[in-house]
Structure 1
């Protein structure tokens, strides 16, 4: 009898749920329709987070701050580069030079605008100012810089000076990690000129090739002493002008210095 009572109650409940009257049943308190004010209150305007895509950064690398010495020449030399800007647009500087016997032998400076045009490449345009050797010389500089496969760093720059003078420079550099701290750094530089310049001892064509090999120990990534050796050879008319002036057409020198970046 008890089971029959439970079954009857269950059937009555099912019939009540399925009846049209039950389907039309309304809640005791009707839900009002959603208005625009309700939507605005549910999704208010909030201040978005600031992004870093347009931030300005800077970097300075003193790649060579060293003392060089050979049988005939010795003195300090430097080579540094840096930039300020964002991911696409940057203002670059380059400066390099050396002294011999207490006198400034060579010195130059670049100021360039750089624009990234590929993942690892920038096009640069700006000015170069030569202080030594000879009288000061200004150039318009146009070039590219970046990484080629196997992580060779390349700088290729063309120069246009007063009086129809032209020049070109190609520099290639590589860093080979012997250990986590010990790094071998070879470098090669080629210089070409369109005209002979007697005041500066420069001949037309391939003028000089520099080769350098440095071994540094990174005490910190930003601070590394190094030792190395450098070669310099002149060619063509430049070699002839050097010999006529009583200078060597090439030679080797020992290097010792510091590499810094910040």
Structure 2
């Protein structure tokens, strides 16, 4: 290394042409160009945007409430209803008027109880858009080895009357016992604190007036584990002996189900449900040799697509 360094130093000394006198160089070619003069600042607040073809809002947008506290169609106050109409119609046409099919098996379960074990199904679904839908519902139950105790199907027209509630009207057909056709009117939706409610009144072809109210709530324990309390009350305006129904409150059902969402669309569950027949319905049950109070231990699945 030392020999190489000495040889390199000798080459520099022996070659004076490589040494440059920087004092004789013309440095003007390397000087930076002068900065351009700054343009005068324009006061945009005094410009006439109308003359320039710009649309001027009716009011200052900053003075309006934010989107979570303002009124519906708040943009009308800024740009005017005429200017916003085309945009609103395009948004509804492209994103708010899609026809959707949805089907859910809410309860498909095996029921272990004193006496003969049983089964239950409760399914529903719809086809339609945000405002108008066709709803269909079916539910029923029975005991293994015996004829189906109760089964029905409903076909309903549904109209949105609030952001989370639909008004429903249509027909219900009973498929067991003395077959009856009912006119149906009811509401279905989501109440504050996320309670799902389905309430309906039924007027049968025999003139019998009955009603049903169902409510349930999903309490998430983890991202996949969900505890669901559920309540159902059936009522009748009169006694219906051929159906073993007394006037007033016919029966009450209170249940608790714990389900595990393997995926959001499929969730097995276990639970317990207690049924009570009350008033005249309790008397009819006793005359038929049935227990008016029944405890069901259930295992089932819930799915949707």
Q: TM-score, normalised to structure 1's length?
A: 0.79
Counterpart in 1 of 2:258? 215
Structure (1/2) with the larger strand percentage: 1
Give the alignment partner of residue 118 of structure 1, picking from 162, 175, 191.
Answer: 162
1:53 is displaced (CA, Å) by 2.7
Please identify runs of 4+ aligned residues in structure 1 that moved more than 3 A.
Answer: none
Counterpart in 1 of 2:151? 107
Q: Summarize the alignment of residues 21-36 of structure 1 with structure 2, pairs less than 5 Å apart.
A: none
Unmatched runs of 5 consecutive residues or more in structure 1:
1-47
Give the alignment partner of residue 199 of structure 2, picking from 156, 159, 179.
Answer: 156
Q: Deviations over 1:185-222 (max 9, x none)?
A: 11100000112111111111110001111100000000
1:109 is displaced (CA, Å) by 1.1
Unmatched runs of 5 consecutive residues or more in structure 2:
1-89
Whichever of the two has the greater Rg, that structure is: 2
Structure (1/2) with the larger helix percentage: 2
Asked if 1:145 corresponds to 2:188, the answer is: yes
1:101 is displaced (CA, Å) by 2.5
User: Distance between the aligned counterparts of 1:53 and 1:65, measured in 2?
Assistant: 32
Counterpart in 2 of 1:241? 284
Q: TM-score, normalised to structure 2's length?
A: 0.68
Task: Tell me how large the CA RMSD over aligned residues is.
Answer: 1.4
Q: Summarize the alignment of residues 84-233 of structure 1 with structure 2, pairs less than 5 Å apart.
A: 84-102=127-145, 103-132=147-176, 134-233=177-276
User: Distance between the aligned counterparts of 1:170 and 1:108, measured in 2?
Assistant: 16
Q: Looking at both structures, which has the greater relative contact order when contacts are Cα pairs under 8 Å and sequence separation is at least 6?
A: 1
User: Distance between the aligned counterparts of 1:71 and 1:238, measured in 2?
Assistant: 20
Q: Deviations over 1:36-86 (max 9, x none)?
A: xxxxxxxxxxxx997133221011010111111101131221111100000
- Does the residue aligned with 1:52 lie in a helix, a strand or coil? helix
